[in-house]
Amino acid sequence: MPGGRPGGGLPLGVVAVKQRVRPSGVVMVLCATVSYEASAALAVTLFPRVGPLGMATLRIGLAAVVLMIAVRPEWRGHSRRDWGWILEYGLTMTAMNSLFYLALDRIALGAAVTIETVGPLVLSVVLAHRKAAAGLAALAFAGVVLLREGAVGRLDAAGIALALGAGACWAGYIVGSRQVGKAVHGLDGLTLAMVVGTVAVAPFGIWTAGASLARPSTLGLGLIVAIGSSALPYALEMIALRRIPAALFSILESLAPVAATASGLIFLRQHLAPLQLLGVACVIAASALATWLASRPR
């Protein structure tokens, strides 16, 4: 969900498994990435109506409604430990999306996604236990510095901090996603976590946006964002993981900053300077190398 990747992200230590690569799986991952970043651009256009927290409420709340109708999850039969992970999953998901949208209100989409990617990257580096880990982390942070220094008038410091916070929550979201996936059947865990997230963010969204959230046109566009950034990418990634190795999946996901930069340029007219594009390339390279190292046997 890169603002939280819907399929769990997976840019962390994965075990290499022999699996035939099916081109359709690669196409699905790329389509999921484009869908997510284009939906993020649409979400930015709704900020004047409902604000970042109102948009987070619409996205998570409407996605929860869609999943509740489609999945009809079981509320009973889960242990206290299972509910603990569901709560962690839902709260980190909500914090990740809220911080991401708050960052988008201050800095460009491509820059925000690139900086956010540092969170899962650091988690991947930590779990890899490789000698090159420190170098990869340094490369990623060099990319963030280039994004900051290369911007005309410098990037907003608060926007950078919010994007880094979203990245930290993204790392927690990945851990929660895996734990919930193991403990709870099917999509029940995701659905229950979405409900938890809705309850957590709704008071802030209502407080900042008020009645604007209930406008039919806003609800319609919010539903498109919810489907395009949650339901559709999640379904595509779930199917893709059955067709391509997890390591390849993660490397493809590291291309999210490219899709975000293109979406920002096409839909929002947000241009990144050459030095900033170099920063994006540094983060992508660090993420791809970290995934490749994690997939290799020690």
On whether residue 6 sits in a domain, the answer given is no
Helix axes 256-268, 23-45, angle to 10 degrees: 40
In a domain, 77, yes or no: yes
CA distance 107 to 48: 15
Total of domains in the chain = 1
The number of beta carbons lying within 10 Å of the beta carbon of residue 24 is: 11
What is the pLDDT, as a whole number, of residue 297? Answer: 62
Kindly state whether residue 41 falls inside one of the protein's structural domains. Answer: yes
Q: Could you tell me if residue 282 is inside a domain?
A: yes
Residue 4, domain member (yes or no): no
Angle between helices 118-128 and 109-116 (to 10 degrees): 20
> Which tokens go with 139?
């490369």
Among residues 60, 173, 64, 52, which one has the least CA distance to residue 120? Answer: 173
Q: What is the pLDDT of residue 47?
A: 96
Q: What pLDDT shows up at residue 158?
A: 92
Model pTM? 0.86
Does residue 45 belong to any structural domain of this protein? yes
Decide if 46 is inside a domain.
Answer: yes
Alpha-carbon gap, residue 244 to 171, rounded angstroms: 22
Q: Say if residues 44 and 109 touch (Cβ distance below 8 Å).
A: yes
Residue-range definition of the domain harbouring residue 120? 23-295
Q: What is the pLDDT of residue 7?
A: 43
- Residue 155 domain-assigned? yes
pLDDT (tens digit, 0 to 9) for every residue of the chain, 298 residues total? 455 454 444 444 333 345 566 777 889 889 989 999 999 999 999 999 999 999 999 999 999 999 899 888 888 888 888 899 999 999 999 999 999 999 999 999 999 999 988 877 777 666 666 666 778 778 888 888 888 877 666 678 899 999 999 988 987 887 887 788 788 877 888 889 999 999 999 999 999 999 999 999 999 999 999 999 887 887 787 778 778 876 677 778 788 899 999 999 999 999 888 889 999 999 888 888 877 776 666 5
What local confidence, expressed as pLDDT, does residue 6 receive? 47
